[in-house]
Structure 1
């Protein structure tokens, strides 16, 4: 069930959209990705953005790394994030047995301590959904919308006082 406060808002501060709360959009995106390899390119930013907007659904020990990954994505784009993921997978194969490489994320700020933001300027429940799809107007437009939510997430987290 979605995390909804007594005010009828999601724990990220968003109100329900036509499909429901953010969790409904998140599950819809994950389902649609399964049949659309181009849409799947944005899987990692979708997941980390959702978890950073809804930290009660995340594992706290991973949120700092996820925040740094999201900053890399906002700063350098989807191709840089996909290269990082491929690099980490290659390091994690059974022959290499290397630890996670934090060097590519070292330049990015850690997750601020304290309470998570109570509101984000863009959220999942604001995503348009037409003709049974989130990519009704193309993959690049969908990617732009995911990036806007990611940017709003980074901006809100940066405003948290440590």
Structure 2
């Protein structure tokens, strides 16, 4: 890591932390999820928020659905998002259907054009707890931090609407 703050900045506008930029935190989260099924519950909002904060790493065709999923998560909670995700998996099992069912997400705003936003008030570089762990202060607290990142992501995307 460099001492130059410009070079140590992530493409989402966050200043790099001890692990590096957001991609380093994202990979650490994905790795820890594999060993912690309770932490894995927040996998869908983690992926959606990360890709919406770093759209150059995403497939653009999916960003609208990911934006709508975060809105569902914030509106109805984690259980509702997990039910929609399970529905999608069941639909697509064994290649029976090849398209994503957007009906559960139809009530939510589409991704605004003109993005990505230049910064977010909560990012992955700020996700670890005080000791540097993701869930060392508890899974619920981790969930609250993921929710704050999801809120910041939706808020920033909405702010670019003219």
What TM-score, normalized by structure 2, do the two folds share?
Answer: 0.90
How does 1:64-143 map onto structure 2 within 5 Å?
Answer: 64-94=64-94, 96-97=96-97, 99-129=99-129, 133-143=133-143
RMSD: 2.0
Distance 1:132 1:18, change over 3 A: closer
Contact 1:32/1:133 (8 A) holds in 2:
no
In structure 1, the gaps of 5 or more residues are none
In structure 2, the gaps of 5 or more residues are none
Aligned length: 159
Q: Which residue of 1 aligns with 2:35?
A: 35
Distance 1:110 1:129, change over 3 A: same
Q: Distance in 2 between matches of 1:94 and 1:115?
A: 35
What is the Cα deviation at residue 15 of structure 1? 0.4
Distance 1:112 1:132, change over 3 A: closer
Contact 1:69/1:105 (8 A) holds in 2:
yes
User: Is the helix fraction higher in 1 or 2?
Assistant: 2
